[in-house]
Structure 1
Amino acid sequence: MKRQPVVAGRFYEEDPDRLRQQVEEYSVPSAKRSKAIGAMVPHAGLIYSGSVAGMVYSELEAPGAFVLIGPNHTGIGARLAIMERGSWEIPTGSMEIDTALADEIMRHGCDLELDAEAHRMEHSLEVQLPFIAHHFPDAKIVPI
């Protein structure tokens, strides 16, 4: 499944060139990169949260994948939902889901349910993707 962007043009620029420029304006090119096992990043529209998100993503070393954990603001679908296959589209391209990692997470349980529908209208993870795609173009994602 290809999850289409639902907040492009509202939470971040819809035009690919303007989105790249927006992400670059919020990023810190001279930042020293560090290994991290996790990072907390705000999930509001980029005019509100972009400077913090840009700083955080600018300081991370490239991981193979990002496990993105966000709330379900809409209440649609499962309360604890993982999307294990497909990709998430943004104006600047596509972010592939790391299916092997998603399967591994599912094998270790919790109360996660396979549910792409829970992610369809949710913005919290989508607003991370322009930064991830910009700073880590080869990275994959696991949306939870």
Structure 2
Amino acid sequence: MLDSSGSTPCVQWPMKGEISLDLTEGSWTAGGGMTFTRVSDGHSLRFTGAHGDLARRSMSVDAAVGDGAARSVDLSTYELDMTKMTVTMPSLNSPGSVEGKPFDTMLTQDGAAVFSRAFGASPVAPGDSVATVAGRVDVVPALG
């Protein structure tokens, strides 16, 4: 999806969670959200409350079509290519980090259905890339 300047939009959501440093388990929750609005008729779709599950490699969101109530939807899945991940272990003097180079997320059937409810069709087919994600998370070791 491109904006009017021809560049790819970037969305940044503050995140909290607990993850294993081998990235096989844990979860995260993100604040913020995004709204898609079709200019021609004002139809809209709002995503908030993003939640990720590392074991399932999935992301769910609270999705609201138009002025309707938000409901949880499994939006996308992903595979992690560990060659695109850098894990820095925390020390007493500095937090560690997990940094991921860009990777694609794949739209689920439920994700395509919520786009179809809002706009009559999904922007991509289930199983196709719906977004490219990259990020960095500071890691603080659990105490106790």
- Higher RCO (Cα < 8 Å, 6 or more apart): 1
TM-score by length of 2: 0.28
Q: Which has the higher helix share?
A: 1
